[in-house]
Each structure stands twice: as C-alpha cells, then as structure tokens.
Amino acid sequence: MQLITIDDIEAAAARIAGRVVRTPLTPCLWADDDHPLWLKPEQLQPIGAFKIRGATNAVARIPEEARKNGVVAYSSGNHAQAVAYTAKLYGIPATIVVTTNTPQVKIDATARHGAKVVVVPPADRESAAEEIVATEGGTLIPPFDHPDVIAGQGTIGLEIAADLPDVEVVLVPVSGGGLISGIATAIRARAPHAKVIGVEPELAGDTAEGFRLGHRPNWSTEDRARTIADGLRSTPSELTFAHIRAHVDDIVTVTEDEIKAAVAVLATRSQQVAEPSGAVTTAAYLHRDLPKGRTVAVLSGGNIDPKLLAEVLTA
C-alpha cells in the first residue's frame, strides 16, 4: 500500500494557501512545568474544524471538467461543512450525506453553505453517497480514506513543526484516521524526535485496540456511536491504518467525563471553545500519564451544540 509522503503534504500546503487559516500555536499558562502545552486551535477555520484542509486539497485536485459535475461527501458533520463550504468557493454543486445522529448545529451549517443535505441512518452513509454518485454523478470526497484528504490534513503537522521545531509530543484526535495519518507523516519528516500519540474516546476506542493487536479493529457502528464525541465515531480504513502503524507511537483513550471536563477547562482557562471531539487531546493531557516534554494538543474543531456547552460549563 502506498502511503503519502512529505512531498504530498508540502504540495497540499501550497495548494490550500489562502483558502484556509494557518492556525497559531497558543501556549497554556496553566500547564505543568515538565509538560509545557500548546494548543493548535483548528476551530478557528472558517467552518470551525480542520476538515477544510483536506476538503480544499481534494477539490483543488479534481480536473476542472469533472468539477462541473459537483462533489458528493458523507460525514458525521465537520467534513460535511468543509466540502459544502469548499464547493461554494469553487462555484460547484455539492450533495452531502449526514446521519441521523449528526448534531443539528452541523447539519444546519452544511445547508447554509448551499449544499443539498441527505439524512440517513449511520450504517448507510457510505452506501448512500456511493449510490448518489452512481445515479447523479459527481466526485466522491471521502472524509478520510483518500490520499488528497490525508495530505491536506497533514499540513497541520507542517505548521506545528515550523512553529515549534523542538516539539516532543503531538496529541491528535483519532476517528477514521485521516488527521493523524497526515500529521504523523509530517512530524516524522520535519520533527522526527517527537512522539505522535493518538487519542480516542473509550466508547469508540477501536483504533487503540487495533493498534495494540496489530490489525484493523472491527467495532460495530452502534458501539462507536455511544460516545459524546460525535466526530470520532468512524473507524480507520486500510489506508489510514497503514499510516498509523507506520508513523504513530501510541494511542490512548479517555472517558466521557474526562472529555466533558476538558471542554470546560479549555473554555474557562484557555478561552477556547472545543467540541468533545476536539477536546479529547486536552483530556489525555490532563488525565493520562504521557511522555514529558513540549507538547502540542490538536483541537480538531469547535462545532459544539450550545446546549451541550452550557450543560458542561454549569455542571
């Protein structure tokens, strides 16, 4: 299986420049002295999550003639918004398949970007998108299982290595694996001394289990749907799991209560609004025994339901 390279990620960085935000590293003054912490706040992207990087790179790579037929995507929410937003920038139609357990705030945001939204049960999202492509045309942009998407997400790793060359630990949320695949590839090339550690919810800890056992996990959709971190309910593909096996040092899990607590800490001590999926890395920093050293926690997104945020902050 062919993995992406640092050249692919650098090409993606040039391709998406000016269309995505180059997010800063923000230091956390409340962090431990032996574990200094910086946040990589991807919720500052126009659609509130890192997914815009991969979507923009993938759309830019579609031949111009094919772009006229539009794009199709399936997603738990943030990739949906990213593809819809990018399609709007390019002036092409988009059809997005979301699931019945996708937060309404993410569905509404996708529709506001002009995309046609189709809602299906969680187990049917991929087949529904493939059927739309077969019957109506368009280019399918998967949320993680595509080299162009992975390369786009990897631009985060390039930025981390450039802004903190002596980084020692990089914490990355894990779901379908596109984000950590890209970041780990970039970190291995630009900061090879650093450890890349994935973070999952315990209730969707399939990749952590697979990482320990040495083969792709096989958790059911229903099992993975139990977590509050709705953006981390996917399972890795053969492509992303191969990247994880090649470049990732470890994967840890965090509990639902730890995720909620991290959302509150980020909001009250770092003034950062993170959705549960984006807060798992901070939860791991706060509650797991991690390697010491200069640490970056990737906050993958901030599209949290306002009611949930209020509930977490008043708990």
pLDDT tens, 33-81?
989 999 999 999 999 999 999 999 999 999 988 988 999 999 877 888 9
Catalytic position from the list 175, 181, 234, 300: 300
pLDDT tens, 181-204?
999 999 999 999 999 999 999 999
pLDDT for position 225: 87
Angle, helix 6-16 to helix 147-163, in steps of 10 degrees: 90
Q: What DSSP state is assigned to residue 23?
A: P
C-beta of residue 175 within 8 angstroms of C-beta of residue 108: no
What token pair was written down for 123? Answer: 């187990």
pLDDT for position 202: 97
C-beta of residue 71 within 8 angstroms of C-beta of residue 59: yes
Q: Is the pLDDT of residue 24 over 90?
A: yes
Catalytic position from the list 51, 106, 195, 260: 51
Q: What DSSP state is assigned to residue 44?
A: G
Task: Specify whether 300 is catalytic.
Answer: yes
What token pair was written down for 99? Answer: 């699931």
C-alpha distance from residue 297 to each of 25, 42, 183, 278 (Å)? 9, 11, 12, 9
pLDDT tens, 122-137?
888 889 999 999 999 8
Task: Specify whether 234 is catalytic.
Answer: no
